[in-house]
Amino acid sequence: MIYVVIGFLWLSICAYVILGGADFGAGIVELFTRKKNRSKTKTIMYESIAPVWEANHMWLIIAIVILFVGFPEIYTTLSTYLHIPLVLMLVGIIARGTAFTFRHYDAVKDDWQKVYTQIFYFSSLLTPFFLGLIAAATVSRSINPDAQSFPDLYIFSWLNWFGIAVGLFTVSLCAYLASVFALRETTNRLELGLMIRKSHQTMLFVIITGILVFVSAYLSDIPLLYWIFSKPLGIMAVSFATISLLLILRAMHKQKLLPVRALAGFQIIMILVAATYQHNPNIILFGNGEHLSLLEYSAAAKTISALGWALILGSIFILPFLFYLMISFSKQRK
Amino acid sequence: MDDFLAARAQMAMSLGFHIIFSCVGMVMPFLMAFAHWKYLKTKNEVYKGLTKAWSKGVAILFATGAVSGTMLSFELGLLWPEFMKHAGPIFGMPFSLEGTAFFIEAIAIGFFLYGWDRFNKWFHWFCGFLVGLSGLASGILVVAANAWMNSPAGFDFVDGQYLNIDPIKAMFNEAWFPQALHMTVAAFCATGFAVAGVHAYLIMRKKNVEFHTKAFRIAAGFALIGAFGAPLSGDIAAKSVAERQPIKLAAMEAHFETEKGASFVIGGIPDEEKEEIKYALKIPKVLSFLVSNDFNSEVKGLKDFPKDEWPPIAVVHYAFQIMIFFGVVMIIIGMIYLYAVFFKKEWLTRNWLLKTFLYATPFGYIALEAGWTVTEVGRQPWIIYGIMRTADAVTPMPGIQYSFYFFTAIFVSLSLIIIFLLNRQIKMVPKLYDPTDAQFNSKNKKS
């Protein structure tokens, strides 16, 4: 049963990165769009996402609940040593969720819209940045429970170049996902052209920030290259991600849009596989050489089995309903 | 402010806010579904407008409840890591089920808000109803986790170790049913009165009277269920507290001496130093009767417990008095309203009745917050009753006070914006929601 639970944890993280990430990305793309195209971009990206966005963010809650019920030691370690970036991420989540709702449901459309929109943009940018930063901190050996001073325990546990690079990479990934996902929401050639240009730009950013991640890992003595390329699965994942990239470019060129979404999702999963597989099942690597493993630090067997069943039953209820929601509202503008 | 106090203050504030949003999220969808059902039955467009107007309120408050809930799921670990490390696997079961309920709620709300004229009308109606149902389920499940902290079950505590963990037993702990029942009823009461009060005010303004009258009637109906259900469920809850946490009951009543035929204390100023209560109104033997249906039964007093296990007596006692006071006031208002409905129809349109409801707008929420204060502060100094002290659970990270100030600022501004937004929704009723109004423009609305 422990593998079922780990599977669900992994899947909900993937789902959050892909669906929630695309959602964050929509805000980022809008922020970096020139004023003239902004309202068009907004319409393309939001009209179809609005009914689904609440559900996209539930995945984070599922992941957190799995962590604190099934892997309490890991959850509490993260929340103790990464307190500050977690709080900043939370602020982002709160600001973004509420600003999005307010901008959508405010009965009067006046200058307040600008306020909501600004908050929405910047929180869309900050939340995935901190998400990436936190993820980086779990494997960069920067968390050191043996440290003595406040900065070493609670600040340099996450503040380093590698973390910042991964944060930027996450931001670019979100923007990329959003623009690729939005391709199918376009209704005419003009809009499609606009979004294809955006997809190319964001793709470029993903590649640049990806290189930054490797460079910063090298500079901070994190054996990222070794982790990824020392095992066949890592090499496979990276090659699949690269091949998908080429396929996406080709599909976009031919304007075949359905496979583009699937490929982009697949690409993200491959990136996550490459990033996590090597030290699996260790989820947190400490600065003092120790690590927390999902297998060793799981809760009592009875809890894991109850949690596993709750997740299985829950997904039987949720998934068909969620799927129906997604297909019901996709392409509603046509 | 020291870190421990700051952590408690931050937790109390976060929960205090979240409770308001989540109770609205639990009850408002039922009001909305009721109005929707009326529309489907009567084809009266006013009900449709009302359903839409309320659904916008639900959307705004649900989103706020969802983010404040997400925040709480992190805050548990950010502030109380030692607690979560041990408690997570034991009391986590309801949380994992709640995840499902919450997810369903989020999906259903998507269907409902954007589904007008797109789906079979009864499927659409059911989605609205489902928002309420799953919201209610979420609430009941989360209360199960809180109840476990009051009535720990499903493990053996041996030499500081938590052994033989059984999450199912932990979920079905003794406090769950009484707490969840009382909380649900209170949520109906609080939301019902709050909504009824707002619409009563708008009726008095003599604008869109038919629209607001319909809204008022529905909300008042729900408020009544809550107002009359509260003492009944409260009685069950009090008996359960007396049995499981006699010290909490003693604090609620500022009851210092153990005695037979204990009197029910109303008001007064408890003095923890001198271990007595001054200026209180005492009704002989009633407390004994309330906790055990026997006028002469023994009720344990605070002096029977070591002083380092006392909760803050004054806070618990005052909070309990506030809850009872507003509860009684709401019952009286409810009875007047019922009397009017059955015997004096003309009262229903009178200003004094509407004014009464207007003043009662916050009463339900005041009582609800006071009730939660009793539950939470009354459990102190324990975070897991009798097992782990709150002070031992707090995060080792210093500087929590800044986090507290920060979150206070966020919550205060969030609340202001929500009040502002709801106010704007209300102002737009003539244009967006009331089809009988001359200003109504169906093209205006964006559903």
pLDDT in tens, B332-384: 999 999 998 888 888 888 888 888 889 988 999 999 999 999 999 999 889 98
Q: What is the pLDDT of residues A99-152, one digit of tens each?
A: 888 887 777 777 788 888 888 888 888 999 999 888 888 887 777 777 777 777
Is the Cβ pair B99, A93 closer than 8 Å?
A: no
Q: Within the 159-188 window of chain B, which residues sit less than 8 Å (CB to CB) from chain A? A: 165-168
**pTM to 2 decimal places:** 0.87
Interchain contact, A307 vs B76, CB within 8 Å: no
CB contact under 8 A, B76 and A93: no
Q: How far is CA B140 from the centre of its chain?
A: 11
C-alpha closest to that of B428 among B414, B445, B415: B445
Q: Nearest Cα to B50, choosing from B39, B58, B62, B41?
A: B39
User: Do residue A107 and residue B165 have CB atoms under 8 angstroms apart?
Assistant: no
Query: Rounded CA gap, B255 and B300, in Å?
Result: 8
Given this model, what pLDDT does residue B442 score? 58
- Report the candidate in A175, A268, A160 with the shortest Cα–Cα distance to residue A221: A160
Q: Is B88's CB within 8 Å of A61's CB?
A: no
Cβ pairs bridging A and B (under 8 Å): 202
In Å, what is the CA distance from B8 to each residue of B1, B15, B78, B393, B404?
Answer: 11, 10, 12, 11, 9
Chain-wide mean pLDDT for chain B? 87
CB atoms near residue B439 (< 10 Å): 12
For chain A, the domain total comes to 1
Question: What residue type is assigned to position B357 of the chain?
Answer: F
pLDDT at B445: 45
User: Residue B54's closest chain A neighbor by CA?
Assistant: A105
Which one, of B177, B173, B289, lies nearest residue B242 by Cα?
B289
Residues of B in contact with A66 (CB under 8 A): 96
Structural domain includes residue A242: yes
The amino acid sitting at A119 is: I
- Indicate whether A334 belongs to any domain: no
Nearest by Cα to B7 from B310, B390, B409:
B390
Q: How far is CA A33 from CA A21, A26, A257, B353, B393, in A?
A: 18, 11, 22, 55, 47
Contacts of A61 in chain B (CB under 8 A): 69-70, 73, 99, 102
| Partners of residue B93 in chain A, C-beta under 8 Å | 69, 303, 306-307, 310
Is the pLDDT at B194 greater than 90, yes or no? yes
Q: Are A22 and A326 in contact (CB under 8 A)?
A: no
Give every CB contact of residue B42 below 8 A, 6+ residues apart in sequence.
Answer: none
Give pLDDT tens digits for B6-16: 999 999 999 99
Ranges A43-57, A279-293, B38-52, B373-387: which has the least confidence: A43-57
Identify the pLDDT of residue B373: 93
B99/A contact by beta carbon, under 8 A: yes
pLDDT at position B374 is 93
Return the pLDDT at B185.
93
Q: Which residue of B has its CA nearest to A50?
A: B110
Q: What percent of chain B has pLDDT over 70?
A: 98
What is the percent of chain A where pLDDT is above 70? 95
Inter-chain CB proximity B78 and A83 less than 8 Å: yes
From residue B139, alpha-carbon distances to A42, A64, A311, B143 in Å are 35, 18, 19, 6
Q: Is the pLDDT of residue B217 over 70?
A: yes
Q: Report in angstroms the alpha-carbon separations of B76 from A16, B12, B141, B179, B241.
A: 21, 12, 16, 21, 25
What's the confidence (pLDDT) of residue A50?
62
The answer to whether B424 faces chain A, any CB pair under 8 Å, is: yes
Task: Identify the closest residue of chain B to A115 by CA–CA distance.
Answer: B417
Is residue B100 less than 8 Å (CB to CB) from chain A? yes
Average pLDDT over residues B228-245: 89
Q: Is A144 on the interface with B (CB under 8 A)?
A: no
A331 interaction partners in chain B (CB closer than 8 Å): none
Nearest by CB to A102, from B90, B96, B417: name it: B417
Beta strands in A240-298 (DSSP E): 282-285, 291-293
**pLDDT of A220 higher than 90:** no
For residue A96, being part of any structural domain is answered with yes
The most confident of A30-34, A154-158, A161-165, B134-138, by mean pLDDT: B134-138
pLDDT(A334) > 50? no
- Contact state of B165 with A302 under an 8 Å Cβ cutoff: yes
Instruction: Answer for the pair B144, B174: CB distance below 8 angstroms, yes or no.
Output: no
Contact at CB, A72 and B85, closer than 8 angstroms: yes
Instruction: Among B59, B62, B397, select the one facing A80 at the smallest CB separation.
Output: B397
pLDDT tens track for B389-433: 998 888 888 888 888 998 899 888 888 888 888 888 888 777 777
* Predicted-complex ipTM score: 0.83
Q: Assign A47 a pLDDT band (cuts: 50, 70, 90).
A: low
* B40 vs A223: which has the higher pLDDT: B40
Most confident of A146-155, A310-319, B144-153: B144-153
Does residue A51 fall inside a structural domain? yes
Residues of A in contact with B109 (CB under 8 A): 54
Contact A267, A244 (CB under 8 A): yes
Contact A61 B102 (CB under 8 A): yes
Put simply, whether A42 touches B (Cβ < 8 Å) is: no
Domain range enclosing A293:
2-329
- B73 vs A68: CB contact, 8 Å cut-off? yes
Q: What is the token pair recorded at B432?
A: 């967006």
DSSP state of B437: S
Distance in angstroms (rounded) separating the CA atoms of residues B381 and B388: 9
Which one of B107, B405, B429 would you mutate to disrupt binding with A, by most A Cβ within 10 Å of its Cβ? B107
Q: Judge whether residue A333 has pLDDT over 70.
A: no
Distance CA A277, CA A303 (A): 25
Domain-embedded: residue A76: yes
Q: Which residue carries 């037993």 as its tokens?
A: B169
What residues of chain B lie within 8 A of the CB of A152, using their CB? none
Per-residue pLDDT at A49:
64
Cα A28 from Cα B273, distance rounded (Å): 59
Is cis: bond before B381, omega within 30 of 0?
A: yes
CA nearest to A272, candidates A184, A177, A204, A160: A177
Q: Is the peptide bond before A281 cis (omega within 30 degrees of 0)?
A: yes
Q: Find how far residue A104's CA is from the centre of its chain.
A: 23
Residue pLDDT, tens place only, A14-26: 888 888 888 888 8
Give pLDDT, residue B446.
Answer: 44
Q: Model confidence over B70-108: pLDDT tens digits? A: 888 888 888 998 888 888 888 888 888 888 888 888 888
